[in-house]
Structure 1
């Protein structure tokens, strides 16, 4: 009989702990506004978007490296969902359109914001 009472008491304690844990999780999720609660699939999508943006950026730098006349070291490339922003300097004004043409040749690029500038010549 004593074992039976102990078993029931342990079962009641276990169910209480599980119930408290479940309420705690529910209240944590409901405390955040619905627009701030991020689902697992949204986080996975964001992660894959970030990887795709990085891959596009890397691909653009590789394409620019094939053109010896362009110094891509002074060019900043930001890619976000197929929208590419170029910033920095190139040696001469003619390279501005060349860089943009190279970037637009990638089929993953939907739009380009070109903020490139030509370097000013140094006076001797």
Structure 2
């Protein structure tokens, strides 16, 4: 009985491994190039560690720059930094702060572009 279950598990694993290449995303190749090991493919898909560190450092710098302005609540603002491109999302208290936060982010050294997805927070009363 256990040998049948083991064989079934082995067959299921082989089927899963074979079908994983068949469902690749459009624009991606399902096979590994002949001269490149599979580990290199996986590493090239993720950004290098230094790039991720630089993105995190830039994100912290933008947060620090916004934090210097006490009238802006940075707690509801999310910042994503990728190779100098910064995306702002979340809410601010009033409409004037939407552009103000974007201008602050643009002034941080290392920021090449800013995508502003900030919205104005609605009051709790629903008015």
Report the TM-score when normalising by structure 2: 0.64
Matched residue, 1:103: 105
Following superposition, which runs of at least 4 residues in structure 1 exceed 3 angstroms of deviation? 34-37
Query: Residues 65-84 of structure 1, C-alpha deviation per residue, up to 9 Å, x if partnerless?
Result: 10000000000000000000
Aligned counterparts, 1:1-124, within 5 A: 32-33=32-33, 34=36, 38=40, 46-123=48-125
How many angstroms apart in 1 are the aligned matches of 2:84 and 2:125?
40
SS at match of 1:38: helix
CA RMSD of aligned residues (A): 2.6
CA-to-aligned-CA distance 1:50-74 (integer Å, 9 cap, x gap): 0000000001111111000000000
> Which ranges in structure 2 are unaligned for 5 or more consecutive residues?
1-30
- Give the count of matched residue pairs: 92
Aligned-residue offset at 1:120: 1.1
Q: Which string of whole-angstrom CA distances, capped at 9 and with x for unpartnered residues, describes residues 26-67 of structure 1?
A: xxxxx943395529x969x71110000000000111111100
Matched residue, 2:25? none
Structure 1 runs not aligned, ≥5 long: 1-30
On the 8 A contact 2:98/2:118 being kept in 1, the answer is yes
